[in-house]
Structure formats: structure tokens, C-alpha cells
């Protein structure tokens, strides 16, 4: 399980927000999925504290992830990425069913994360922190 570090800026905010997102009427809808239970609960709790983000649910089973994504009109699915670096099969299914979805995979070893949108994968190689995950989530403009 990776450790998340709470990084705050000089104003006490976690992560960064672009000017265009600050005035958005709709919050970004996040589904926390396919991560160990303790990490899922921690992420759900921390993301829920962010005023521009909304946790719409959590799911551990891949079938439940697919169903919940459609039922909750999720913008972002947050999941664990395998140590091999290979894209989890659930990503292919999610992006096939929901092409505008943003999938963020947190590396199991805590050394970065992947952002997948329309089958394009971008890897961030850095220590995983709450700020870096929140910044990645905020790239999904609803």
C-alpha cells in the first residue's frame, strides 16, 4: 500500500486548482475503485474534504466498478496500478464503455501514478502524494 503525503500550499489548500475550475458549478465526480480497503477508505475521506470534488462511491470488484461508473456518471476512476506497469484490464473495459472517462492509477509501490484518457497513458514518476493525485483528478473537466 502506498503512503499518501498531504501537501498543502501557502494558503492551506491541498493540490492546485486552475482558475477556470474554481468557478465551475459542477464538482468533478470521483469513483474510488479496485484499491485495498484501507487505502480506499483513506482516499474517499481525503477527497471528500475537497470542495471541487465529489466522491460518488467506491467499489472493489471490477464488475462493480463498471456498473458504478455508469450509474454515478463518474468523471474520474481512481484505482491501483500493478507493479508491472501494465495497464489493468479494467481500464480497457472502462474506456470502451465510457470514452470520456479519466482513469488514474496509483502505482502499488507508491512511486508515481498513471493518467489514462481515451487510451493515452501518461506516467508520472514521483513519490505519490495527495497533492499529485488531486492535481491529476482536477485535469478531468466535467
71-124 residue pLDDT tens: 999 999 998 888 787 888 888 899 889 988 999 988 877 777 888 887 677 776
What letter would DSSP give residue 14? B
How far is 58 from 134, CA to CA, in rounded Å?
A: 17
CA distances 32 to 19, 52, 54, 128, Å, are: 25, 16, 11, 16
Per-residue pLDDT tens digits for 8-55: 444 444 444 343 344 446 899 999 987 788 888 888 999 999 999 999
State the pLDDT at residue 51.
Answer: 94
Q: Is the model's pLDDT at 140 over the cut of 90?
A: no
State the pLDDT at residue 6.
Answer: 41
Q: 34 or 127, which is more confident?
A: 34
Amino acid at each position: 500500500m502506498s503512503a499518501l503525503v498531504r501537501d498543502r500550499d501557502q494558503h492551506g489548500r491541498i493540490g492546485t486548482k486552475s482558475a477556470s475550475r474554481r468557478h465551475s458549478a459542477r464538482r468533478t465526480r470521483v469513483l474510488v475503485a479496485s484499491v485495498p480497503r484501507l487505502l480506499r477508505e483513506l482516499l474517499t475521506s481525503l477527497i471528500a474534504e475537497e470542495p471541487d470534488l465529489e466522491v460518488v462511491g467506491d467499489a472493489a470488484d471490477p464488475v462493480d466498478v463498471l456498473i458504478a461508473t455508469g450509474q454515478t456518471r463518474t468523471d474520474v476512476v481512481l484505482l491501483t496500478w500493478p507493479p508491472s506497469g501494465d495497464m489493468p484490464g479494467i481500464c480497457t473495459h472502462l474506456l470502451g464503455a465510457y470514452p470520456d472517462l479519466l482513469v488514474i492509477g496509483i502505482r502499488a509501490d507508491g512511486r508515481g501514478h498513471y493518467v489514462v484518457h481515451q487510451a493515452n497513458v501518461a506516467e508520472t514518476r514521483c513519490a505519490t502524494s495527495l497533492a499529485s493525485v488531486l492535481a491529476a483528478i482536477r485535469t478531468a473537466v466535467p
